[in-house]
Structure 1
């Protein structure tokens, strides 16, 4: 497979800049016609391609671990194929906007070419070809691509590509239904301008995972797993806006990635992690708000109905899977009539959660929701360029982080002095969350002992107050018309008893 090593030449640095958007999968066959009628694409010639892609990696996935993709692409028919070999390197997995190096050349046939990797960074990675010799096919993507080229005033050129097909890996497959907007000329803002015009009438979701990454997830049986927090690595020498961008982008990615998974997964943990992602994002926004000029923050009012639906679904899931089961024996006490009512109540909550999950999925099909998520994605991409407030006088990141967390801790201490009324309890619970998420995000910049102590305190408070709230919520759900009023009284009594022991 590998021929004589070619002479090494300096590698050019071509950049692929594209915006990925997931689309509704209910009627994929009609999406091309729907898009063609949109003003931004109308009267532009559409070109349809049939693409078959084979991705290669080592058996232990060394390329994937280094965020490298190497593929062979067949364009056209099997009778008259055109083969392209593409190397992609770099990029991030925390944004729908991807920027990474891409090197693509024509090759004679369906076999990787060692020579085609000349003048690419591969030569720095694998000078003697030992790594190349271990490469094997690992996944396949096959899809129909419908392409429009959009030329804008000012000289920007965007390729809009609708991809419908499937990813296959390890004997399993998952559908592809997405838009890729690739920047051929002009600034990245042009991608968002075109995307927003599409989002006015078509529900979109920012997509943080590539087709190849979905293939690897299939191999690891991890495609529908919930995405948990992955706080970014921060350095003390970072400007505050850059740190804010990294922190907020990771949190928003957790939110949108779990929303995308929620469209097909019934796992209650996916709902939980979507809600956690938004709460972390909102808490971090409040954390950074005083030090940044955030006048350009997009309006996320359109997300409020979705967030309310997600919150109600989470309450139902917690009640039926976490809060209620431990009290089943204590409530029924061997009484057959109570056991029957308990089972009826549990079934009613399960049906309610199923209906609520469908409402959440319907909310994700509202174009205004996708447009708001898209606007936040664009804002996050420009955040590092925002000026810091003159009042802040460009603080050093470590000093600023320690001041902010210490101030939050003081606010929580004051709030805990009076938690007799529900409003004060609510404020203390919110502050405990903000302190916890702030410490977790800024942990590398904080003094270890105080941060560890304050974090443990915040987690304990959040857990205790959350448990009491979950009991009251479960009691309210049980007291809903048609459910067991006696169980509601029982749970309220438990909640009051737990509160009185604190």
Structure 2
């Protein structure tokens, strides 16, 4: 569900110059996306990021207590998401979005310029969209391996949007045209996504330590371990970025 909503919002962003999506529906999509995102972040922390973090260090401090708190927090977020999906607000959102698409409400209030733009061949729009998103990633990713987490996060978002756009328009291109580009972009985005998970884990561990003083030591240990894993990946990210910079957007 989280990925589906993320792809929907990415598709709407892709055509925002042509179609105006109702602000009220965008607010509701952000609401459910926020609920799903928070649950996903805690789930990744307990099932992936902390996996193998402590090794033999359990005997030096109470790591299990901290892990237990993280698991309980993840469970609470899952419960909140389940309640959100089961509530009237979410049901209304699905109904309204479906109605907006099926009744072509996106045509309402469209000016002549937008109508003319919609008559263009989709291949032209796709080429321009991919070029623009490629350009944005190149700009945001300048000196990518050395960027601070927040700036690198913006580059990751640009990479994600480029990949979604490429997948949306994939049937317009021959497979051999996209094969190398798609493979290289996917590897880069996967690495940036993994790094973002570690950055999010660091934030969650800091929050956890602030509310559970007895978990401060184990949270600090985990943060240090995750930081070392990210540092070890520096060379790999540098290589992936170098490979991508040699490519041009599909035409």
TM-score, normalised with respect to structure 1 = 0.41
Q: Counterpart of 1:400?
A: 125
Partner of 2:184: 457
User: In structure 2, what is the equivalent of residue 336 of structure 1?
Assistant: 59
Alignment CA distance shift 1:326-1:301 (3 Å): same
Per the alignment, in what secondary structure is the counterpart of residue 326 of structure 1? coil
Q: Is the 8 A contact 1:471 1:491 kept in 2?
A: no
Q: 1:380 maps to what in 2?
A: 101
1:389 Cα deviation from its structure 2 partner: 1.2
Alignment coverage as a number of residue pairs = 223
Instruction: Indicate the residue corresponding to 1:90 in structure 2.
Output: none
Q: 2: CA distance between counterparts of 1:289 and 1:313?
A: 28
CA 476–298 in structure 1, closer or farther in 2 if over 3 Å, else same: closer
Output the CA distance in 2 between the equivalents of 1:477 and 1:352: 10
Distance in 1, Cα, partners of 2:127 & 2:222: 44
Alpha-carbon shift at residue 432 of structure 1 (Å):
0.8
Structure 1 residues 346-355 or 389-398, which shifts more?
389-398
Corresponding position of 2:84: 363
Q: Does 1:485 align with 2:219?
A: yes
Mapping for residues 466-481 of structure 1, pairs under 5 Å: 466-479=193-206, 480-481=208-209
Greater RCO (Cα-Cα under 8 Å, separation 6 or more) = 2
Instruction: State the SS of the aligned residue for 1:289.
Output: coil
Q: 2 CA distance for matches of 1:296 and 1:327?
A: 45
Match of 2:68 in 1: 347
Alignment of 1:427-442 (within 5 A): 427-442=154-169
Q: CA deviation at 1:390?
A: 4.2
- Structural mapping, 1:54-453, within 5 Å: 274-290=1-17, 292-294=18-20, 299-329=25-55, 332-333=56-57, 336-338=59-61, 341-383=62-104, 386=107, 389-390=114-115, 392=117, 394-419=119-144, 420-453=147-180
On the 8 A contact 1:432/1:462 being kept in 2, the answer is: yes
Q: Secondary structure at the match of 1:299?
A: helix
Compute the RMSD of aligned alpha carbons. Answer: 2.7
1:401 and 1:446 in contact (8 A); partners too = no
Inter-CA distance 414–364: structure 2 relative to 1 (3 Å threshold): same
Runs of 5+ unmatched residues, structure 1: 1-273
TM-aligned CA distance change 1:396 to 1:425, over 3 Å: same
Asked whether the 8 Å contact 1:412–1:428 carries over to 2, the reply is yes
TM-score scaled by length of structure 2? 0.76
Q: Is the alpha carbon distance of 1:383 and 1:499 closer, same or farther for their aligned partners in structure 2, counting shifts above 3 Å?
A: farther
Contact 1:316 1:353 (C-alpha < 8 Å) held by counterparts? yes
Counterpart Cα distance in 2 of 1:462 and 1:407? 17
Answer whether contact 2:66 2:219 (CA < 8 A) is retained.
no
Q: Tell me the equivalent position of 2:242.
A: none
Which whole-Å CA distance do the structure 1 matches of 2:163 and 2:103 have between them?
A: 27
Going from structure 1 to structure 2, the CA distance change for 1:424 and 1:385 (only over 3 Å counts) comes to: closer
Compare CA radii of gyration and give the structure with the larger one: 1
Which of the two has greater strand per residue?
1
- The answer as to whether partners of 1:471 and 1:492 remain within 8 angstroms in 2 is yes
Deviates more, 1:468-477 or 1:351-360: 468-477
> C-alpha displacement at 1:393, in angstroms?
6.0
Change (3 A) 1:488 1:463: same
Q: Would you say the 8 A contact 2:202–2:223 is kept in 1? A: yes
In structure 2, relative to structure 1, the CA distance for the partners of 1:485 and 1:354 (3 Å cut) is: closer
Q: Which runs of 5+ in 2 are unaligned?
A: 239-251
Higher percent of residues as helix: 2
Deviation at 1:489, TM superposition (A): 3.6
